[in-house]
Structure 1
Amino acid sequence: MRGTDWLITTAMVLSMGTAHALTADELVAKNIEARGGAEKLHAIQTLKLTGKLVVNGQFELAMMQISKRPAMYRNEASLQGLTAVQAYDGTQAWQIQPFGGRKDPEKLSADDAKDLAESADIDGPLVDYKSKGYTLDYLGTEDVDGTEAHKLKLTKKDGDVEIVYLDPDHFLEIRSLTQRIVHGVEQVNETDFGEFEKVNGVFLPFAIESGPKGVADKPQKISFDKAEINVPADDATFHFPANAGAAK
Structure 2
Amino acid sequence: MKVHKGWIVAFAGAVLLSGAVTGAPGQTKELTVDELVAKVIAARGGIEKIRGIQAQRVTGTISFGPGADGPFAVELKRPGKMRMELTLQGMNMVRSYDGRSAGWANNPFIGKKDVEPMTEVDLKNIGEESDFDGPLVDYKAKGNEIKLVGKDTVEGKEAWRLQLTTKNGNARSYLFDAQTFLLLKWEGKRKAPDGSEFAVESFFRDYRELNGLKFAFEIDSDRPGQPGVQKILVDKIELNPTIDDARFGKPALPAAPPSAPPPSN
Report the AA paired with residue 156 of structure 1. Answer: T
CA–CA distance in structure 2, aligned partners of residues 95 and 24 of structure 1? 36
Question: How far did 1:55 drift?
Answer: 0.8
Partner residue of 1:163 out of 167, 170, 173: 173
Mapping 1:51-62, distance limit 5 Å: 51-62=60-71
Match of 2:236 in 1: 226
Matches within 5 A, 1:147-226: 147-179=157-189, 185-215=196-226, 219-226=229-236
CA radius of gyration, larger in = 1
SS in 2 for 1:193: strand
Contact kept in structure 2, 1:35 and 1:172, CA below 8 Å: no
Deviation at 1:227, TM superposition (A): 0.6
SS in structure 2 at match of 1:111: helix
Identity in percent: 40
1:198-246 superposed Cα distances (whole Å, 9 cap, x missing partner): 112211111112232355x65211111111000111222112249xxxx
- More relative contact order, 1 or 2 (CA 8 Å, 6+ apart): 2
With the length of structure 2 as denominator, give the TM-score of the two structures: 0.76
- Which of 31, 34, 57 does residue 43 from structure 2 map onto? 34
Distance 1:166 1:150 in 2: 5
Cα shift at 1:104: 1.7
In 2, the alpha carbon distance for the partners of 1:199 and 1:174 equals: 19
Q: CA deviation at 1:81?
A: 4.5
Deviation for aligned residue 1:97 = 2.4
Secondary structure of the equivalent of 1:136? strand
Q: Distance in 2 between matches of 1:239 and 1:212?
A: 32
Q: Which runs of 5+ in 2 are unaligned?
A: 1-26, 253-265
- The 5 A counterparts of 1:14-53 are 20-53=29-62
Q: Partner amino acid for 1:196?
A: Y
Relative to 1, partners in 2 of residues 1:143 and 1:34: Cα closer, same or farther, differing over 3 Å?
same
Q: Which has the higher strand share?
A: 1
The 3 A distance-change label for structure 1 pair 58 and 114 is farther
Say if 2:206 and 2:217, in contact at 8 Å, map to a contact too. Answer: yes
Native 8 Å contact 2:69 2:89 kept in 1:
no
Residue pair 1:97, 1:103 contacting (<8 A) in 2 also = yes
SS in 2 for 1:126: coil
DSSP-derived class of the 2:140 partner: coil
CA distance in 1: counterparts of 2:159 and 2:184, whole angstroms: 8
- Give the alignment partner of residue 138 of structure 1, picking from 136, 145, 148: 148
* CA positional deviation for 1:101: 4.0
- Aligned-residue Cα RMSD (Å) equals 2.4
